[in-house]
Amino acid sequence: MTAGRKDQFPRENIPQIALSGRSNVGKSSLINAVTGRKNYAHTSSSPGKTVTINFYLLDKKIYLVDLPGYGYARRSGDHQESFSKLTEAYLSQDGKPDFVFQLVDLKVGPTQNDIMMIDWLNSSGIPYAVVATKADKINVTTREHNLEALRSHPYLIPPYAERQIEVVGFSSLTGDGKQIVRDIISGVSK
């Protein structure tokens, strides 16, 4: 289901998990990886195109919600696209997900926009986990180092965060972290 306006958000009483992250971080690829479907969510190598929110209903039990990516500058010199109005409407009033996967590129680390989003999540009361994507792009040593840096990031531990936020290393290419993400989804869908 696709929503370009807030009156198109699903209204049934089915739990929703939103995927938040900058354009190109791997949101659509994660949906395909955890559902085991090749092109369920459309992936793109030219970022910044999604201006709709896409709702993927799994087993009639839970929605995975692919939010528009933020923080992509279309041309150099352009202002960075921040949160879309639609995303704001979804997160704050009209949708309000039960859980959020905040995606961060494990090689790049958290961007300013990622931090802004994490800050917002901390004050929202919505439970969330950080999924560190594209883990296959770096070697094991760097991976462990970057994961550790994320896990001890001040915004992901008390007092900024309500509790220690789970950080999952993930690769849609190798399936690394896929089972952990599936387990979290099952937990929310109960």
Ligand X SMILES: Nc1nc2c(ncn2[C@@H]2O[C@H](COP(=O)(O)OP(=O)(O)O)[C@@H](O)[C@H]2O)c(=O)[nH]1
Binding site for ligand X (CB under 6 A): 21, 23-29, 43-45, 47, 69, 133-134, 136-137, 171-173
- Closer residue to Mg ion, CB minimum distance, 68 or 153: 68
**Going residue by residue from 84 to 123, which x/- string records binding to Mg ion, judged by CB under 5 A?**
----------------------------------------
- Closer residue to ligand X, CB minimum distance, 28 or 87: 28
Of positions 16, 24, 28, 146, contacts Mg ion by CB under 5 A:
28
Alpha-helical (H) ranges within the chain are: 27-35, 85-89, 112-124, 140-151, 178-189
Residue type, 103: L
Burial 103-114 (b: 16+ CB within 10 A, else e): bbbbeeebbebb
Q: Which does 54 bind (CB under 5 to 8 A by kind): Mg ion, ligand X, none?
A: none
Integer Cα distance of 128 and 36 in angstroms: 23
- Closer residue to ligand X, CB minimum distance, 82 or 152: 82
Q: What is the DSSP letter of 22?
A: B
Q: Which does 137 bind (CB under 5 to 8 A by kind): Mg ion, ligand X, none?
A: ligand X
- The structure tokens listed for 188 are 């929310």
| CB count in 10 Å sphere of residue 6 | 15
- Closer residue to Mg ion, CB minimum distance, 28 or 113: 28
Tracing tokens 């869908």 back to the chain, one arrives at 189
The least CB distance from residue 13 to ligand X, in Å, is: 27
